[in-house]
Chains A and B, each alone.
Chain A
């Protein structure tokens, strides 16, 4: 049995390089297919023909495609994602600067969404057909069908413009800017590490609205899936067994039905998290959040292909990593897959 378990793990591990190779292939071909000439992007529209030609050869674009791909692979494996034309920084430096903002936002959002979503989903499933169930379903429908930019704008209007409870767009108040030493890039964590509690409160206050909007959007999906999974489990025979044993309903719901629901839910939550980490473009734009989504969008609009491809590669890596993690957790939680 241990052998089978190790074998399955080895198979998963072996699939990673293949997935990553596929990912590199995709980003490479996106770079060749888009109607943007990488040479012109570097030398400019008005460069003389011989300059363009020299640049073309210097960039290796005169080589056959497989040679180009081989070089591209070598570059990304050594961490060289090229230079952004727009910021003139190496792309990985830009990403290292923008990604923590997205990470902070997405992580807070997914924690809130998972806790509330699971809670609401279980509540609705155990009271199927009641007004509680209906209320949860309407709430989730709203979260799922209202576009995030509408939610974001309403939130700004109500909590920032009318009530004045929360700060407006941006990641921190102007007086706190660059006051806290950057260690992790997560403003709340950095402020806490520095013991600067006013800065921490300020960063938190700025997080509440965008994280709330993303959490609402995500929890709607998580709650719906939780409800559906739970309804299926609650109808199963082992739940009848658990009831026949005289267990409390809390124990039947959480220890029996939910533990079986948790297995597929892990995948749902991790994929939702991956979706948030890739950068919620609309939310980041509305709340002027300097995250990966904004970086990608601005780069794309400026035809900054190195930045776009680099960020795409990072997003892909995150997806692969989270999928792998979900897979491992799945194995850990469901004895049948071991």
Chain B
């Protein structure tokens, strides 16, 4: 095997044309990803989700995505045929969305949706798919897989729904998992469980993980590396363990305005945005 990283992104630009003008959602993002856990952090609208979806080419047809390099494995994402992309989606890259209330199909049972993910990439019979789905549900630590298998999404709790989503996306054993705010819609008590589950599954299966979140401490805790995005650009990329050594003004500003349980702080500073952050860099 070559030593080339699994994912390579160079100078990714994504524009959303609309009636009132063009929105530049992503403006020159570059990063690469091997078998590791990369956290992408940023506030709403910073382009982190769009970056993730551009990798799977899941953006609306009117969107314009350009890049010097946008590669997954041997596949050139920008120039791949729809057929090649379909072989990639699900099979090699999985995507976990934010809220299972909306991201699961309301009129299909959980089991049917998992079995469908299996059968999209492997020729297996119905019964075999059912067995495999039950195994997968057990794999995401659902105590009563049979009940959940035959349940409709509205009959499941948020945490349960997200487990189903994870089982579904891990079904074809992908090499990369993109988790787009996987815990933002969940109760705080369930968030940690779901994240631990994702971490465990990613580790045991040797997958790469791209964790998209707005929660800086959380990401730094779970990931190897962190990329901080702001207004469609990566401000800074650094090892998660060295987050406290961040040099960029934006990262520093974000870290500064976090309250602390142990340290007494008279007043939380607010983030002052510096227009210079957005200046084109060499």
Contact = CB atoms under 8 A, between A and B. Distances in A.
Interface string B202-221: 00000000000000000000
Interface residues of B, number: 31
Contact of B102 (A238, A245, A247, A334): A238
A334 B58 CA distance: 28
Nearest to A238: B105
Contacts of A237: 97, 99, 102-103
A243 B121 contact: no
A241 interface: yes
Given A245-B89, A246-B89, A334 B107 contact: yes
Contacts of B165: 241
A260 B95 contact: no
A244 B116 contact: no
Interface residues of A, number: 20
B190 interface: no
B95 A248 contact: no
Interface in B82-105: 86-91, 93-95, 97, 99, 102-105
B152 A244 contact: no
A298 B33 CA distance: 79
A243 B53 CA distance: 11
Given A237-B97, A335-B152, A244 B56 contact: yes
Interface in A257-315: 259-260, 263
Given A246-B88, A246-B89, A336-B152, A241 B116 contact: no
A333 interface: yes
Nearest to B53: A240
A236 interface: yes
A144 interface: no
A259 B106 CA distance: 10
B64 to A, nearest CB: 15
A335 B108 CA distance: 8
A237 B104 CA distance: 8
A241 B97 contact: yes
B140 interface: no
B106 A244 contact: no
Contacts of A247: 86, 90, 116, 120
B169 A244 contact: yes
B240 interface: no
B24 interface: no
A244 B89 contact: yes
B38 interface: no
Contacts of B88: 246
A333 B108 CA distance: 10
A188 B217 CA distance: 74
Nearest to A257: B105
B154 interface: yes
B41 interface: no
Interface in A201-258: 236-238, 240-248, 256
Interface string B133-177: 000000000000000000010100000000001001100100000
18 contacts: A236-B102, A237-B97, A240-B53, A240-B95, A241-B104, A241-B165, A244-B95, A245-B116, A245-B120, A246-B89, A247-B116, A248-B86, A260-B106, A260-B107, A334-B106, A334-B107, A335-B106, A336-B106
Given A246-B91, A336-B152, 5 more contacts: A240-B103, A241-B168, A245-B90, A246-B88, A247-B90
- Across chains A and B, which 8 residue pairs bring their CB atoms closest together, nearest first? A246-B90, A246-B89, A244-B95, A237-B102, A245-B90, A335-B152, A238-B105, A237-B103
